[in-house]
Amino acid sequence: MTMRGHKNNGTNRSARRMLASALLASAIMAGGVMPGCQKESDEAQAIRQAKLDFEYLAANHVGVADGSVSKRTYEKIVSSLSKAAGSSNPGEAAAAKLLRARANARQAELLAMQASRTEGRVLDTILVVRGSLNQWKDLNASAAALTAYDPSKAFSDLDQQIAEKEKEIAAAQADLTKLEGEVSTLQASVSAAQASVLGERSKEAALRTQAIDTSQTQRADLVTRANQAKRAGDGFDKQSSDLQAQISKMNPTVEEAKNRLAAARSDRALLDVAKGEVTKLVRINAEQSKKTIEGEKDAQGNTTRYGARQMSENLTRQVATLRSLREKMNVEGDEGSESSGSRSLMATYDEALKLYESAAIEAGKAKSTSGVKGGPAELDVATYEHGQADVLIAKARGLQAYSSLMSALAGAQPSLPDASFAAEAAEAKKAFDEALLAAQDAYSKARSTYETAGAKVQAAQVKDRLDQIGRTLATFDPRAPAPPPEAMPDAAPPADGAETAVTPGADGTPPTPPTAEVMPEGLEGEVLTTMQALIDDLKKPDMAAFGSNVIFKNEQQQEGFTRMSPLLAKSVEVDKAAIERFGGTVSALTKQHKGELGPAVEAMGFEATKPVELAIDYLMTAEPSDLQVIASPGNPDEVSVTSKTGKLAEPMTLSKIDGAWKLQLDSGLGDSPLPDAMIPALSTALEEIRAGITEGNYADAVAMLKDLVEKAVAAARSAMEPPK
């Protein structure tokens, strides 16, 4: 016994098979074909058995998970009805052909569903690869920006200042030496004068002592000579005082000269410190750049942070997984089941297309055999053609996504190790173009066949399909979009007694075609209204309003976007000025003049590379008439928007949230917000650039871009310097 709500796959499957067997037995009894009851032609028996096989599969709910069972059954139906399809009985022949057509179509549907499931995994993997590619680009850009700073100009400026300061020191030293020499000379003169004073004073004293014990005549002569010595000593004493006064007068000048020399020497020492800081900055940047490339490890050698090298290895593994998914998809049964096989995704699409084509041809033969124009057989042909077109569209969309990814990988800078990306991108793009054109032709063919079928059945039965095909053509035909076809008038029912071809369905109805990629009524207008609002808000710029129409991948990204909004708005203003003055955004100008710019400009990341950056850059100059809206298969609340003229490398994705269309922001804006201190500093630098563009201060775009780099680097450095 199985508990309620608990699934037992084996029990359920056995029950279904018992039910199918019962249905089969009852059908045989109801048909009166028990042995000995009635003789029936081999062709009629084959037709009856084929119908029972269809009923068995339907009752047993055999689908993709039991692909091998379905495949063998459908192949058996096609094979068993070969003779009946060539029967001389028109009714039997038509019925056999329609059943064979339906068996082929059901095989095509199984393959298409298997391809769709694999395509979903492929697209998920593409998103993963794109995320890794963006991280790899960010890491390389960060590493390049860290090493983009060229210290040569700073060193040159400092060396020039040092040379000037050395001259200043030499001049100050010369002035001081001269002053000190003059003071020294004066001090020597003072010493000489003071020595003379002592000499004369001693001479005077000796003469006066001698005069005491001499005669009157001799005394008078000695006194006279003593007075002369006194006067001479007084003169030398005055001379010494005058010289000392001169020295005192010069002392402030000497002190000033000493202070000037000390200040010059201090300034010189600070210049050495500044050179050391620049050297330290270059060293730290180089170390950080190396960590950004190589990653970081702890003491045990475990990686604690991925670098660009590890991300490149991740990319290689992820791309290998992606290629493996496309080249070796599981078919027929569940992955891992005994019935599973493998073929490439493209081969699966192609096999489905061949089977749909065979189904359409077989149904067409049934129509010819029955001799009835239009009717169910015609509708079956249209249905299979429609299914073929839908497979082509699914194939085209997958190729477009793959080609776009390969192109992004091929254009990555620095180049990734795998050199085959460009060739793969070109091959996928060529296949995409071929599939898209084939889908357009297939839809046109299906539309024409539907119209013919509509002449014999209720017009309303095909009107919706016609409208769907018309809108799909309008969506996917970039050359000449086709308007939806007009509603057809009610058709007359088949004439009484007219022979009608046997329908392949167990209940007499034609098989339901796979859902086409169709835009619901009003979808294009709704999406374009949102796109116009995004363009208007961006150009104002009103980043708050712009952000209200955006779906952020997480709260951190939204917070980063809010914090970065002032800087983003200022960058938009610079772009607007650059468009008016130089004819392009900063990103477009950087790409245009790449050969004239140094590595520092490229390393700053001014050229848009991420999908969201490319989208924002496109919206700066986009015209609404260039926007093309493409519905997503199986999801009415998601669309892609691209450029009709090919100006947008990758489509933008919008999703409907609470009745409003919003732009999905998977990566780019707000992912890696700058430190708070940098935002006002860089905003100021951008405002200076905007003003310079507006005032005509730049001879050309190259001069503007180089100045932008210098100002941005200077602003970032000043913002990150510790407060003094």
List, in order of start, the domains of the chain with CATH numbers: 152-297 (1.10.287), 523-720 (no CATH)
Q: Is the pLDDT of residue 602 over 60?
A: no
Residue 19: band (very low, low, confident or very high) from pLDDT cuts 50, 70, 90: very low
State the chain's mean pLDDT as an integer: 76
Among 400, 467, 447, 472, smallest CA distance to 633 is for 472
- For the ranges 573-582, 590-599, 686-695, the lowest mean pLDDT is seen at 590-599
**How much is the pLDDT for 605?**
58
284-309 residues labelled b (16+ CB within 10 A) or e (exposed): ebeeebeebbebeeeeeeeeeebbbe
**How much is the pLDDT for 43?**
66
Q: Is the pLDDT of residue 495 over 50?
A: no
Residues 367-374: what's their mean pLDDT?
Answer: 57
Residue 3: band (very low, low, confident or very high) from pLDDT cuts 50, 70, 90: very low
C-alpha to C-alpha distance for 317 and 144, rounded to whole angstroms = 24
Q: Is the pLDDT of residue 36 over 90?
A: no
Q: Is the pLDDT of residue 65 over 60?
A: no
Residue 416: band (very low, low, confident or very high) from pLDDT cuts 50, 70, 90: confident
At 632, which helix (H) or strand (E)?
strand 627-632
Q: Between residues 443 and 79, which one has the greater pLDDT? A: 443
At 563, which helix (H) or strand (E)?
helix 555-582
Query: Counting beta carbons within 10 angstroms of the beta carbon of residue 209, is it exposed (0 to 12), middle (13 to 18) or buried (19 or more)?
Result: exposed
**How much is the pLDDT for 708?**
85
**How much is the pLDDT for 471?**
58
C-alpha to C-alpha distance for 20 and 61, rounded to whole angstroms = 10
Backbone dihedral angles phi then psi of residue 88, each to the nearest 5 degrees: -75, -15
Residues 155-173: what's their mean pLDDT?
Answer: 93
Q: Between residues 607 and 384, which one has the greater pLDDT? A: 384
Provide the percentage of residues in the chain whose pLDDT is more than 90.
17
Residue 600: band (very low, low, confident or very high) from pLDDT cuts 50, 70, 90: low
Q: Between residues 670 and 52, which one has the greater pLDDT? A: 52
Q: Which two tokens stand for residue 157?
A: 């400026």
Residues 123-148: what's their mean pLDDT?
Answer: 86
Residue 250 C-alpha from the chain's centroid: 74
Residue 34: band (very low, low, confident or very high) from pLDDT cuts 50, 70, 90: very low
Q: What is the largest CA-CA distance in the chain?
A: 196
**How much is the pLDDT for 666?**
62
**How much is the pLDDT for 202?**
92
- For the ranges 60-69, 501-510, 545-554, the lowest mean pLDDT is seen at 501-510
Residues 364-390: what's their mean pLDDT?
Answer: 74
Q: Is the pLDDT of residue 191 over 90?
A: yes
Convert the pLDDT of each residue in 235-294 to its tens digit: 988 988 998 999 999 999 999 999 999 999 999 999 999 989 999 988 888 888 888 888
Residue 159: band (very low, low, confident or very high) from pLDDT cuts 50, 70, 90: very high
List, as one string, the DSSP characters of 269-332.
Answer: HHHHHHHHHHHHHHHHHHHHHHHHHH-EE-TTS-EEE--HHHHHHHHHHHHHHHHHHHHSEEES
**How much is the pLDDT for 507?**
37
Q: Between residues 47 and 110, which one has the greater pLDDT? A: 110
List, as one string, the DSSP characters of 448-514.
Answer: HHHHHHHTTS-HHHHHHHHHHHHHHHHHH-SSSPPPPPPPPPPPPPPPTT---PPPSSTTS-PPPPP
Residue 700: band (very low, low, confident or very high) from pLDDT cuts 50, 70, 90: confident
**How much is the pLDDT for 436?**
83
**How much is the pLDDT for 85?**
58
Q: Between residues 302 and 91, which one has the greater pLDDT? A: 302
Q: Is the pLDDT of residue 715 over 90?
A: no
Residue 489: band (very low, low, confident or very high) from pLDDT cuts 50, 70, 90: very low
**How much is the pLDDT for 264?**
92
- For the ranges 47-56, 375-384, 432-441, 525-534, the lowest mean pLDDT is seen at 47-56
Residues 20-37: what's their mean pLDDT?
Answer: 40
**3-state SS class at 723:** coil
Residue 516: band (very low, low, confident or very high) from pLDDT cuts 50, 70, 90: very low
**How much is the pLDDT for 483?**
41
Q: Between residues 714 and 60, which one has the greater pLDDT? A: 714
Count of H helices and E strands in the chain?
Answer: 20, 9
Q: Is the pLDDT of residue 164 over 90?
A: yes
Long-range contacts of 417-422 (CB under 8 A, 24+ apart): 417/312, 417/316, 418/316, 418/319
Q: Is the pLDDT of residue 460 over 70?
A: no
Q: Between residues 28 and 120, which one has the greater pLDDT? A: 120
Residues 706-717: what's their mean pLDDT?
Answer: 78
Residues 607-616: what's their mean pLDDT?
Answer: 71
Polymer length in residues for the chain: 724
Among 148, 672, 138, smallest CA distance to 413 is for 138
